[in-house]
Amino acid sequence: MVQSQIMNKLRNENRQGSSLALIAIMLSVFAIMAAITIDFAYMGLVQTELRIATDAAAKAGVEALSRTENVDSARQAAVNYAAANKVGGQSFQLRPSDVTIGKLVKNQSGDWGFVASLDKPNAVRIAAKTGGDAVHSAVSLFFGSVLGTSSFTPSYSATAGQQDVAVCLSIDRSGSMLFDMSGTDFVYPPNNPLLSSFTAWGAMWQNHLSPPNPVGSRWAVLSQAVDVFLDEAGNFNPAPRVGLVTWAADYQMPISPFTQYQKSRKDKKVPKHLEHDWLTNKTAVKAAINTLGSIPMMGGTNLAAGLDDAVASLTDPDVGSFSSKVVILMTDGQWNEGRNPIDSAHDARSAGIVVHTVSMMTGYHPDMAAIAEITGGKYYRTTNAQQLSDAFRELARSLPIVLVE
């Protein structure tokens, strides 16, 4: 009896010991798997950071190349923009020798390829490396001993170049574009030289039935930003082909002459590639903006109508199929008429069109941000005249630049 009890106790102790050993082994395995998972996730993050830094450097290099026509300036711009991005927790470092200057050449299949050349160059290639003989050190891992290596050395290559660009400015001309820049609805800039003589319905309607004040109205500020865009775009060779769509909502003026306002209209067609003269194009767009500034602005905000017409302008057969196509969509309010503009964004993406969006005098605009994200564009939120001009300047500088690799 006593012997049996002793044997049972020994067997139980053996089982407990075996269980503890198994648990210890399993915990060790879990710890190793966790370490591997963490390091692999970190490696993926670093590779993404490297891609972003390299793409930014390539774009900056080709922008400087076009603007300055100096290969050394292009290389330095690429190096500087790379350093503005973090890779593995450190500013990413390039040597000027990592930057190759060349040109884009279309192959037989219609795709663009890169050829190193200093003869009328229009492209920049970045060879981004880490570790070894690269100026940027290898990236340390958290649990390198588990993986058998203490660091890893990702690399990436990006090529950016200039090509023919067709762009459509899609501009809000709803009634709120008459307001001033205070951000308060139905507050108009004073001393409008174009103020209507109609006073029967009070000051608000007198202002609302007038053309925008050429000083201080949202339309006047927008006009100045468009001028900045056109002036900046003209610095590139070739300059983009620019069309203009303006939009609001269907509306009829409530007093004589009871003017009908269309929800959207194509004020300036995108020129044909072979017929494009930049000075003529620029003058025509400015003239259209000035003409619109001489008449009252009416109606709500049918954002989708403006985007749809811009897409239709860029898919016109006269525009051609090989050009890079871009919409710059600007509004000062939330859409309140028409179909959901997110549906329009999906249509634009299906047509291969990038949509950059600019909101003016609004808070964060989720629809404009979503439209840009869906189409591969960028969203700019602006709250004053300087920010609006800066956004249009940056857009003009980035338009001719495309990543081809």
What span, in angstroms and rounded, lies between the C-alpha atoms of 123 and 23? 59
What is the pLDDT tens value at each position of the chain, 405 positions in all? 555 655 555 455 555 556 666 666 766 666 566 657 777 788 888 899 999 999 999 999 988 887 788 999 999 999 999 999 999 888 999 999 999 999 888 676 667 788 998 887 889 999 999 988 888 988 888 766 665 677 788 999 999 987 778 999 999 999 999 999 999 999 999 999 999 999 999 998 999 899 999 999 999 999 999 999 999 999 887 789 999 999 998 888 788 778 888 899 999 999 987 788 999 999 999 999 999 999 999 889 999 999 999 999 999 998 887 678 999 999 998 999 999 999 999 999 999 999 999 999 888 999 999 999 999 999 999 999 999 999 999 999 888 776 776
Counted residue by residue, the chain has a size of 405
What span, in angstroms and rounded, lies between the C-alpha atoms of 385 and 59? 26
Residue 375's pLDDT is: 95
* Buried residues in 357-387 as b, exposed as e (16+ CB within 10 A): bbbbbeeebebbbebbeebebbbbbbeebee
What span, in angstroms and rounded, lies between the C-alpha atoms of 268 and 246? 9
C-alpha torsion 73→402→288→362, nearest 10: -90
Domains of the chain: 2-161 (no CATH), 165-403 (3.40.50.410)
Cα three-residue angle 161-164-168, rounded to 5 degrees? 120
Rounded to 5 degrees, φ, ψ at 51 are -60, -45
Query: According to DSSP H, which parts of 217-319 are helical?
Result: 218-233, 278-292, 303-314
What span, in angstroms and rounded, lies between the C-alpha atoms of 231 and 192? 27
Residue 33's pLDDT is: 65
Looking at the DSSP assignment, which residues form a beta bridge with residue 380? 358
Residue 182's pLDDT is: 93
Burial of 85 (0-12, 13-18, 19+ CB in 10 A): middle
Q: How many of the other CB atoms lie within 10 Å of CB of 70?
A: 12
What span, in angstroms and rounded, lies between the C-alpha atoms of 303 and 116? 44
Residue 79's pLDDT is: 96
Looking at the DSSP assignment, which residues form a beta bridge with residue 331? 359
Residue 3's pLDDT is: 57
Cα three-residue angle 283-230-266, rounded to 5 degrees? 65
What span, in angstroms and rounded, lies between the C-alpha atoms of 313 and 301? 20
What pairing do the DSSP bridges indicate for beta strands 156-162 and 401-403?
antiparallel
Residue 10's pLDDT is: 47
Q: Are 140 and 151 in contact (CB under 8 A)?
A: yes
SS3 content of the chain, % helix, strand, coil (to 5): 45, 20, 35
Q: Of 31, 29, 38, 33, which Cα lies nearest the Cα of 141?
A: 38
What span, in angstroms and rounded, lies between the C-alpha atoms of 100 and 55? 14
What's the pTM value of the predicted model, to 2 decimals? 0.68
